[in-house]
Structure 1
Amino acid sequence: MNTEVQSLPQLPPSTSMFAVQLSYTPRGARLARRIAVQQRADWGILHATATSHAVAIVTSELAANAITHGRTPGRDFRLALRLLPEVIRVEVTDTRPDRLPCARTTPAAAATSGRGLLLVGAYAEHWGYTVNDQFTKTVWADLTRRPHGQPV
């Protein structure tokens, strides 16, 4: 299931969390993916599983969208990962709350962009965004934690 919702669901207080600020550059997007992959490994989520793959893909897409659509010169974006009992939440906070994400219909076959949120929706149980204040918004996705060893 991959419903799009617009408010950030409340989290239990015992959530494990990791967060980092990254630059609005292609390098920042690459680092976001690498950091997310390392963090899921630190949490004991095995490599080459459905959950591991989903964390990598969704982090890449949300970071790329922040760099492409959420950039403000001189500011960074924030990657946060939260480990919950049944899901891993990937959050990317950027500095353009005036540019809200929208999942488009399938782009033309020859289009070179426009598929990122379609991928996020395919991998996520739920995804959405929250406008935090006049300066930031957070786009988030909840990825179901699969049993250890379930291959991609």
Structure 2
Amino acid sequence: MHSSSPQRHRLLPTGPTAPAEFALSFTSTPRGARLARLFVAHCLDTWGHPYTGDVNETLTLITAELCANAVRHGRVPGRDFHVRLAAEAGGERLRLEVSDTRAEDRPPTTAPAAPDTESESGRGLLLVAALADDWGVTDRPHSPGKTVWAVVGTPPNGHRPGALP
């Protein structure tokens, strides 16, 4: 299927007893990356992190950067990229994973040096490193490719130190 609509998904119900996990596959296109960002923002809102809240804005920006990288650097023709969002530690942390099928083009495991001021790209992982509490790259289990992940804490008051103003 080569449309830009999500192809496989699992959006679990929310509530006190519902597991908090969201997973979708998207086409490796700019439109797929935009849809991933919108779906993550919507999911966070349904989990109690409003669109205009720090947690939602932070994770939506991280999603946008990681999905753009998956489309730009991890694209294999005919293969989708996958997004998974899960609550961990009783909802105190949210883990975002973006997986693609290109194993050989791995990002550095530490934040890259800042690009020169004239460069129009190269700042995505700098933003991820600045906004996430932790992040990294792992091999995809049982599949070719890699997963870039980021973890963001969800403080009780909803305000993250260092979040976007």
TM-score, normalising length: structure 2: 0.79
Cα distance in structure 2, aligned partners of 1:136 and 1:78: 11
Q: 1:139 aligns with which of 141, 144, 148?
A: 148
Q: 1:110 aligns with which of 118, 121, 126?
A: 118
Cα distance in structure 2, aligned partners of 1:59 and 1:107: 21
Q: Which one has more relative contact order, counting CA pairs under 8 Å at least 6 apart? A: 1
Aligned to 1:3: none
Mapping of residues 1-152 of structure 1, within 5 Å: 16-84=20-88, 85-102=91-108, 103-132=111-140, 135-150=144-159, 152=165
Unaligned runs of 5+ in 1: 1-13
Residues matched between the structures, number:
139
RMSD (Å) for aligned C-alpha atoms: 1.7
Cα distance in structure 1, aligned partners of 2:59 and 2:35: 13
Unaligned runs of 5+ in 2: 1-17
Q: 1:48-90 CA distances to partner (integer Å, 9 max, x unpaired)?
A: 2211111110000000000010000000000110012221111
Q: Say if 2:27 and 2:81, in contact at 8 Å, map to a contact too.
A: yes
Q: Say if 1:77 and 1:92, in contact at 8 Å, map to a contact too.
A: yes
Percent of matched pairs sharing the same residue: 42
